[in-house]
Every structure is written in structure tokens, then in C-alpha cells.
Amino acid sequence: MEIDAIYKDRKEALEVLRHSSAHLMAQAVLELFPVTKTGIGPAIENGFYYDFLRESPFTLEDLSAIEAKMREIAKKNLKVEKVNMPREKAVSLFKEKNQELKVELIQEKGEAEVSCFKQGDFIDFCLGPHVPSTGYIKHFKLLSVSGAYWKGDEKGRQLQRIYGTAFQTKKELEQHLSLLEEAKKRDHRRLGVELDLFSFNEKLGGGLVLWHPKGAAIRNAIEDFWREEHYKDGYDLLFSPHVAKLDVWETSGHTEFYDALYPPFEGDGIKYQLKPMNCPFHIMVYNSRQRSYRELPLRWAELGTVYRYERSGVLHGLLRVRGFTQDDAHIFCRPDQLEKEIRKAISLAKKILGTFGFNEYDIFLSTCPDKHCGSDTDWDKATKALERALKEEKLDFSIDEGEGVFYGPKIDIKIKDALQRSWQCTTIQLDFNLAERFDLNYVGEDGKFHRPFMIHRALLGSLERFFGILIEHYNGNFPLWLAPVQAVIIPIADRHNEYAESINETFKNRKLRTFVDDRREKMGYKIRDAETNKTPLILIVGDREVERKTASLRIHTQGNAGEIHVEKFLEKIMLLIANRSIDVKF
């Protein structure tokens, strides 16, 4: 028997532990609920899950019972054994156990000899590897249950998916559970409602965002900054339609390769398609006239709204929607300009992400897959240009061998938020496919036609998704320059309203987002309300403040900051906003 030792300090060891935990959970479920059908149970990032087919839904009490049974089985220290058997024998075995889903999987994926793993009376169709015995599984927790479709097919059977997590040590498990609790507090879906930022309405359709005034104010601040930085970096901005003739998407290959298209619709006897991407429109601007080598590079950016049909089961607040705005850009350049343009794109990404407070990230360079378009020479040239650009920018990166998409190599930047969670945002992608499909060219110095390099580039990704990340990163306590309401002025009594309004008018004239809370409520209530709404600055004015032309300042999360002179205070906050400072300090 061959043995492959996997030591605890290797990443693979945690995956093995979690996969084995999924098997342990399935065994516990079958002991408690014997007629349940088992689906699949892989290790995933931060944990594991297992899918079950069962008439009645699992309850929270069921999860507690399953977890207790898992601990009971783990203590028995059952030996985990690999069992190989002929395919037909495996089919027969699982038929006897009334495990029809396993039979289906074996018939579809099983080789002549089928690999299974057995622990006690439980056996599962699986390639492994697994821990030597159930006693190795000690520090785990079941987290939640949700719906899932068999093989991800919405037309397939509805299953129940139980999620759990497992770690090598108790301390690691407790730290992770603490992180999950903090993540719940920061959930953008809850904060979005509490802070009146956005909403969804099933009457409108799933995955379609309604931006409320406060959310729209933040989005406008993001967009204004984005445009400003792009103009500084030599980009021109484009606008493009939300639909195009279906044959455009046939030329681009989306109808053939992209499975998230909405069904086409017809007008005047012509079939149209909601756009899932902005690329073809930018290409058509490029092809609107003949281009010369002297014009290149061309850098065109667009905040373009696109539409992709995502299954209802995967929609998740702002993080997974059906209509969203990409901070898209396409760069058309000559081969000799490629490395410089990639470096510029990386540099702009670092600047923009850093301004939002994201200075930690993991970077990946994905290289040529087995099936690809474009010549090997172009792939080699493009991959080396990406690699050199990362090195010149002094950035650490990992290589994802063969993980580039079929039309070109790419750089992915995954930011880390306040909870050290990774989020995919920036992508810099070379494309040999669309340039060929749409016959892009330019007239070179030699008077001949040449194919330009085309770079797809998104820095924030989707504005909706990035906004959700921002909410959770800051727990709704946005920096002053992003806050939907930057300051509230609270008069102590009606006689102070006029002075409060004069301060507000001064602030409004400087384009600050402020208002006067002159409701006939108690002072304490109005202050608590401003704090609950996470307003960065609270200015309180009474008789003394009117006489001195001052205000009493309260800073959110910091408390009272004393009396301030309004004009000097205004200049200070204008400087903080101009610098897009993360912290408010006086």
C-alpha cells in the first residue's frame, strides 16, 4: 500500500482534515437520519460542506445533534481505510444502501476500479486522501444549512447543504469563530438597511440594486475620484449602450462560451442582447476609423453597467448581483508599449485601492492553459511582460500555472479587508481573442497592418461588489470623504436654528454633505441618532456657540472633541477631504 505523508504544517493537511470532517458529518447524519441520501462533501476555503437529499429540512436543533454525534464518532477513533473495488461492485453496494446520488456519481465518474473510503459502517465514493482515523478530527463546528441544487442545476433536485469548519487546534477554531461573529456584525446587507444605503425588491427582480440617496452619495464620491484619477493617468472616458445586436455577441464568442447571458429579445425583427461585457463597444470605437501606430496607446475607460443572469441561489446582497457597473477599461497598444502599460495599470490600481484603505493584497499571475487562442510567441511575450511589470513594481506574486483564461494571461490582485479576508478586485488581462475576432489592426511605421495588443483592465471590479466590501471593511464607519452625511449640526433650542442654518449654508457652499437636525426631540436622542447613523462629525450649537461663532464638536467613535472655531474647522475638514484621509483627527 502506498502512503503519502502530509504533515500538519502543510496547507494540504488542513484540506485533508476538512474533507475528512465532511465525511464524519455525513456518517453522523446517516446514523441519526438513516433514510437521508448523501451527495458530495468537499473541503472549501475556511471549512467544508456536505449536500443531503431529505424530505424535511434540517433545523438548528438537528445541527446540534449532528455535531454531538460527530464528536461521539470521533472519540471512537475509527480507522479510515481506502477500499478499491470494481465499478459494478461499487454501484451494487450503493444501490443496496439506497444511495441513488452516489450511484449516479459512480456511473458518471467512476473508472474501471472505484476508490472508496470506509470508517466504521460508513463508506463513501471518494478519491481521498483522508486522516488515518476519526480521532484526528477534534476541533470543528457546524455553522449553517442552506439550499443547494444537485450538480448546480436549477432544474435538478433541491438538496440541503450543511456548512462546517475545522482546524488543527482549538485556538485556531476559536479565532475563526470570533472572526465569523465580527463578520456578522459587519454584514453589508444588514448595515445597508440600517444606514439606508440600498435595497432590493422582488417586484423589481432578484439581484437588481436600488441605490438610496445616501448610498448614491457614496457611489458618486467613488465615481468622482475614479474619473479624476483616470484623467490624470491619461485615460479617455467612453459611454456605451446597454444592448447590442445578437450577432455582436456571436462575433465576440459570448453566445458560445458565456453561460450567464440573459435571453435575447426582438425589436423590428432584429434580435438584441443585454450586454454582459463592455469590450465589444470599445472595440467598435477603435474600429470606427483606421488607426496609426502614432496614436497608440489608446486608454479608454468606462463605468459601464452590464447584466448577467446569475442563479437565484447564488445571489448575495451586493456581492453577487445580476445588474452591476464595472470600472472597465481597455488599452490598445503596440508590442513595444506593452510592459509600460501594464506597469501603469498596476500603479494606478495600487493608488486607487490604497486611497480606499486597502494596502494589503495577494497577487497572482495566471499563465497559458492547454487550450488557448493566439500564438505561443504572443503568449510568451505577454506573460513575460506581466511578470517583468510585477517585478519592476517590486510586488510579491504567485504563479498560477496554466490558470490563465483561453484568450490570454492575467494578473489578479486580491485585497485584504479589516478582517483579513481576501476579495478579488483588480484584474489586468491580456486578450488575443477579441483582437482577432474583430480584426483589430493599426498601420505600423513600415506602412503595413499590425495587430495591437489589447488589455482588459478593471481596478475595483464591480462598483456594487466593491461598495459591499467597503461597508464591511469599515463596518459602516466610512472615511469623511466617503460618508453620505459628513456632518450634522444640532441646535440646542429653536433660537439657535438660525445660527445652525448659517453654518450649514457655509458647509453646503463648499459642497459638503451636511444638514441641520432641528427636530423637536431631546438633545440626547438626536446625538444618539447621529451616532447610530455613523455620522463622522456632530456639531452642537447653543447660546455660547452663537455668541462666540463656534460649535461644540463630537467625532464619531472618538467622543467629544471640544469647542471649535467654525471657519478654521471648515478649512481643516476640507483638507481632510481633499487628501481623502482615512482618519479624522483634530
**178-193: per-residue pLDDT in tens?**
999 999 999 999 999 9
pLDDT of 370: 78
Q: DSSP of 78-109, one letter per residue? A: PBEEEEEEEHHHHHHHHHHTT-HHHHHHHHHH
User: What is the mean predicted confidence (pLDDT) over 151-178?
Assistant: 92
User: What is the mean predicted confidence (pLDDT) over 271-293?
Assistant: 95
| Alpha carbons 143 and 584: distance in angstroms, whole number | 37
User: What is the mean predicted confidence (pLDDT) over 289-302?
Assistant: 97
* Closest C-alpha to 460, from 219, 101, 139: 219
User: What is the mean predicted confidence (pLDDT) over 439-451?
Assistant: 96
Given a cut of 50, whether residue 1 has pLDDT beyond it is no
Q: Which three-class secondary structure state does DSSP give residue 371?
A: coil
Check whether domain 487-578 has CATH 3.40.50.800, yes or no: yes
User: What is the mean predicted confidence (pLDDT) over 128-153?
Assistant: 92
**335: preceding bond cis by omega (within 30 degrees):** no
Cα 219 from chain centre: 17
Given a cut of 60, whether residue 164 has pLDDT beyond it is yes
CB atoms within 10 A of CB 9: 8
User: What is the mean predicted confidence (pLDDT) over 288-296?
Assistant: 97
Q: Which three-class secondary structure state does DSSP give residue 336?
A: helix
Q: The domain 11-181: what is its CATH number?
A: 3.30.980.10
| Alpha carbons 123 and 255: distance in angstroms, whole number | 42
Per-residue pLDDT band for 124 (boundaries 50, 70, 90) equals very high
pLDDT of 148: 87
Which residue intervals of the chain bear CATH 3.40.50.800?
A: 487-578
CB pairs under 8 A, 24+ apart, for 333-336?
Answer: 333/296, 333/297, 333/298, 333/452, 333/453, 333/455, 334/293, 334/296, 334/297, 334/442, 334/444, 334/450, 334/452, 334/453, 335/381, 335/453
| Alpha carbons 75 and 120: distance in angstroms, whole number | 12
| Alpha carbons 112 and 90: distance in angstroms, whole number | 10
Residue-level length of the chain: 586
| Residue range 515-535, pLDDT digits in tens | 999 999 999 999 999 999 999
pLDDT of 100: 94
pLDDT of 9: 54
Per-residue pLDDT band for 372 (boundaries 50, 70, 90) equals confident
Given a cut of 60, whether residue 62 has pLDDT beyond it is yes
Percent with pLDDT over 90 in the chain:
80
| Alpha carbons 118 and 26: distance in angstroms, whole number | 12
pLDDT of 8: 56
Given a cut of 80, whether residue 23 has pLDDT beyond it is yes
Given a cut of 70, whether residue 115 has pLDDT beyond it is yes
pLDDT of 399: 84
- CB within 8 A of 66, min separation 6: which ones? 25, 28, 29, 32, 58, 142, 162
Mean pLDDT of the chain: 92
Lowest average pLDDT, out of 147-161, 233-247, 297-311, goes to 147-161
Determine the topology of domain 193-240+278-474 in CATH. BirA Bifunctional Protein; domain 2 (3.30.930)
| Alpha carbons 308 and 274: distance in angstroms, whole number | 8
User: What is the mean predicted confidence (pLDDT) over 307-315?
Assistant: 85
Asked if 264 and 199 count as a contact pair (C-beta separation under 8 A), the reply is no
* Closest C-alpha to 516, from 532, 534, 502, 531: 502
Strand order in the sheet with 265-267: 243-245, 270-274, 265-267
- CB within 8 A of 88, min separation 6: which ones? none
pLDDT of 6: 52
Given a cut of 80, whether residue 210 has pLDDT beyond it is yes
Q: Which residues of 538-568 are buried (b: 16+ CB within 10 A; e: fewer)?
A: bbbbbeebbeeebbbbbbbeeeebeebebee
| Residue range 218-252, pLDDT digits in tens | 999 999 999 999 999 999 999 999 999 999 999 98
In the beta sheet, which residues pair with residue 274? 243
Asked if 207 and 310 count as a contact pair (C-beta separation under 8 A), the reply is yes
Which residue intervals of the chain bear CATH 3.30.930.10?
A: 193-240+278-474
Which residue intervals of the chain bear CATH 3.30.980.10?
A: 11-181
Indicate which residues carry an active-site annotation. 279, 308, 326, 328, 330, 410, 456
pLDDT of 10: 61
- CB within 8 A of 360, min separation 6: which ones? 415, 416, 420
Q: Please indicate, yes or no, whether the overall pTM of this predicted structure exceeds 0.85.
A: yes
Per-residue pLDDT band for 259 (boundaries 50, 70, 90) equals confident
Given a cut of 60, whether residue 214 has pLDDT beyond it is yes
Given a cut of 50, whether residue 2 has pLDDT beyond it is no
